[in-house]
Amino acid sequence: MIVKKIFALSRKRLSYFIAASGSFIAILSACTLIPGTDTDRGAATVKEDPFGDSYETVKYLDQGWNVSDSLWFYTTTQGSNLMPYDFFMVLEKAGSTELFRSNENMNFYRYLPQKATSTNPDALPVGWVKDDYKGKEYVGLTCAACHTGQVNYNGVGIRIDGGPASADMEEIMKGLSAALKHVRENEEAKSRFVKNVLARGNYKSETEVLGELAKYEQRLTNYTIINRSPTPYGYARLDAFGRIYNRVLEHLINERELRDLLRDRHIMRDDGMSEEELDKVLADMEKIPTGDQRDRVVDRLTQNLTKWQLGRLRKALFNPADAPVSYPFLWDIPQHDYVQWNGLAANAGLGPVGRNTGEVIGVFGTLDWNEEKGPTLSTLIGGQNTRTKISFDSSVNVHNLREIEFHLQKLQSPKWPEDVLGAIDKERASRGMSLFNEYCAGCHANIVRDDPDRRVVASMSRVSDVGTDPVMAENSFSRTGYSGILRNQYVDVGVGSILLDQKAPVAALLTKATLNVVATPDPDKLFFQRWFDWIVDIAKAFFHNEIKSSIKHGNYDPDTTAKPLASLNAYKARSLNGIWATAPYLHNGSVPTLYDLLLPKKHEGDPEDGEYRPDQFEVGSREFDPVKVGLKSSGYQGSKFDTSLKGNSNAGHEYTTGKTAQLNGKVLKPLTKEERLDLLEYLKTL
What DSSP assignment string belongs to 653-686? Answer: --GGGTSS--TTSPPPPPPPHHHHHHHHHHHHH-
- Given this model, what pLDDT does residue 377 score? 67
Judge whether residue 454 has pLDDT over 60: yes
Task: Report the share of the chain in percent with pLDDT over 90.
Answer: 74
User: Is there a cis peptide before residue 592, judged by omega within 30 degrees of 0?
Assistant: no
DSSP category for residue 578: T
Averaged pLDDT of the chain:
90
Instruction: Round the CA-based radius of gyration of the chain to a whole number and report it.
Output: 25
The type of residue at 622 is R
Report the pLDDT averaged over residues 210-233: 95
Three-state DSSP class for 461? strand
**β-strand 57-60 against 156-161: which pairing, if any?**
parallel
Judge whether residue 35 has pLDDT over 50: no
Name the percent of the chain in helix, strand, coil, to the closest 5: 40, 15, 45
Give the lowest-confidence range in 414-423, 507-516, 594-603.
Answer: 507-516
Please check whether residue 227 is in contact with residue 240, taking contact to mean a CB–CB distance below 8 angstroms: no
What burial letters (b/e) apply to 51-78, b meaning 16+ CB within 10 Å?
bebebeebbbbebbbebbbbbbbbbbbb
Give the lowest-confidence range in 12-21, 230-239, 439-448, 544-553.
Answer: 12-21
pTM for this model (two decimals): 0.92
d(C-alpha 440, C-alpha 594), whole Å = 13
d(C-alpha 341, C-alpha 328), whole Å = 8
Render pLDDT for 128-179 as a digit per residue (tens, 0 to 9): 999 999 999 999 999 999 999 999 999 999 999 999 999 999 999 999 999 9
Write the DSSP string, 527-547: HHHHHHHHHHHHHHHHHH---
DSSP category for residue 33: P
The type of residue at 152 is N
Report the pLDDT averaged over residues 636-643: 96
Strand partners, 394: 367
Other C-beta atoms closer than 10 Å to the C-beta of 672 total 9
Burial class (CB in 10 A: 0-12, 13-18, 19+), 528: exposed
Which helix (H) or strand (E) is 289 found in, with range? none
Give the lowest-confidence range in 328-342, 521-535, 602-616.
Answer: 521-535
Report the pLDDT averaged over residues 589-618: 95
d(C-alpha 72, C-alpha 50), whole Å = 30
Judge whether residue 34 has pLDDT over 50: no
Strand partners, 337: none
**β-strand 570-573 against 616-619: which pairing, if any?**
unpaired
Give the lowest-confidence range in 92-106, 370-384, 404-418.
Answer: 370-384
d(C-alpha 389, C-alpha 367), whole Å = 16
Render pLDDT for 261-316 as a digit per residue (tens, 0 to 9): 999 989 988 788 888 888 888 887 776 677 778 888 888 888 889 999 999 999 99
d(C-alpha 258, C-alpha 517), whole Å = 23
Confidence of residue 21 (pLDDT cuts 50, 70, 90): very low
Other C-beta atoms closer than 10 Å to the C-beta of 604 total 4
Render pLDDT for 467-488 as a digit per residue (tens, 0 to 9): 999 999 999 999 999 999 999 9
Report the pLDDT averaged over residues 223-242: 96
Taking the domains of the chain in order of start, what are their residue ranges? 240-317, 424-470+568-685
Judge whether residue 205 has pLDDT over 50: yes
* Nearest one of 554, 376, 551 to 466, comparing CA atoms: 554
CATH number, span 424-470+568-685: 1.10.760
- Given this model, what pLDDT does residue 11 score? 46
Judge whether residue 542 has pLDDT over 80: no
Judge whether residue 185 has pLDDT over 70: yes
